[in-house]
Amino acid sequence: MPYGYEEWPKLSLESFKLGKELNIRSVKVGSIKYDFEPSSVVITGMGGSGIVGDIVRDSLLGSNIIVHKDFSIPKWVDSRSLVVAVSYSGETFETICSALDALRRGIPVVGVTTGGRLASELEGRGAPVVKVPKAIAPRFGLPNLLYAVLGVLSHYLSIPDINESISLQDDALRSESPGRLAYFMKDHVPMIFAPIGLQAVAYRFKNDLNENAKTPAVVAIVPEADHNDIVAVMLKHPVKYIIIRGRTDDVHDYLMRAVEEVVKNYSSDVEVVELKGSSRLSQEVYGSMLLGLVSIKLAELYGIDPVRTDPINTLKEKIRGINCPLN
């Protein structure tokens, strides 16, 4: 399997170790101390790095995790919070600006990256950085970034068992559904329904479809989607429906079955993707891998290179050299 997917189990374990081995509690940056119980954890990052925050938020139910994808950290965040700045390349302007914004305001920041300016800016100020191994592109480095963040957070929060989430990666790799699903979706816009507790899988799938298969995709999160997106099924559109079915809680599981029934009443273009795993982390990692493989197969069907993301590079070039906007 190309694009490094077969390396995920090994990279997941290694990266978790990297985060766990960081001696973060002993760090001090001027008056900023890292030996504390954070009232919240703010995870900042964009795109393939930003999705890490979404997966961590869904997986660490009960912890106060806020995902923020912009040039600064929300105004209400103060030194009782921990900021985790995730950037695969370490060159993403939004993430560098938000990490520096936090440090300037006396908020402890830890970086997770392969290096770049994020690493040098943070290390230059004495802030901790976990350096993870490289991948073909940021999104292919998901296990590297995700498990390193979980390793860092294990110093502060209780983390779900990571072993099942790693062993299920083999099941996703061996699954035969990616080829079938890609064929099903070809030449259509996928509309992805998922429950709110597993929303990161739907967003990761959308992002992979955008970047790997150069395809637009719609994400419909239940219960909110029951009040708007669902109405679109009444007309015939060039859309294929994907229902992500997992286990969250009785009410949301029931609602997802109801959504499936309603969509199937209007359309026969529906596929259900069943997530494996007992924890949200396992389900989201399994889903991210399985559906990532779908996006690669779809790129193959379209005869395009999954790796190239030229418009992202153009936009990054356009904002290079401007000053961080002040919060």
The rounded distance, in Å, linking the Cα atoms of 10 and 313 is: 29
Q: Give catalytic status of residue 316 as yes or no.
A: yes
The rounded distance, in Å, linking the Cα atoms of 167 and 163 is: 6
Determine, following the binding rule CB under 6 A, whether residue 20 of this chain makes contact with ligand F6R: no
Q: Give catalytic status of residue 211 as yes or no.
A: yes
| Whole-number Cα distances in Å, 326 to 45, 69, 188, 301, 322 | 17, 15, 41, 44, 12
Q: Mask of contacts with ligand F6R, 43-62, x by CB under 6 A?
A: ---xxxx-------------
Q: Which is nearer to ligand F6R, 8 or 241 (CB)?
A: 8
Which one of residues 12, 15, 72, 89 is an interface residue with ligand F6R (CB under 6 A)? 89
Which one of residues 44, 72, 95, 215 is an interface residue with ligand F6R (CB under 6 A)? 95
Determine, following the binding rule CB under 6 A, whether residue 16 of this chain makes contact with ligand F6R: no
Q: Mask of contacts with ligand F6R, 253-292, x by CB under 6 A?
A: ----------------------------------------
Query: Catalytic one among 69, 131, 155, 316?
Result: 316
Could you list the beta-strand ranges (E) of the chain: 28-29, 32-33, 40-44, 65-68, 81-87, 109-113, 129-131, 189-195, 218-222, 239-245, 270-274
Q: How far is the CB of 36 from ligand F6R (least distance, A)?
A: 27
Cα three-residue angle 163-146-38, rounded to 5 degrees:
100
- Which has the closest alpha carbon to 260: 249, 271, 275, 251? 271
Cα three-residue angle 183-226-228, rounded to 5 degrees:
85
For ligand F6R (CB under 6 A), the number of binding residues is 15
H or E stretch covering 122: helix 116-124
Query: Catalytic one among 94, 121, 211, 284?
Result: 211
Q: Give catalytic status of residue 227 as yes or no.
A: yes
Q: Shortest Cβ contact with ligand F6R: which residue?
A: 47
Using CB under 6 A, list all residues that contact ligand F6R: 46-49, 87-89, 92, 95, 137-139, 211, 309, 312
Residues catalogued as catalytic: 211, 227, 316
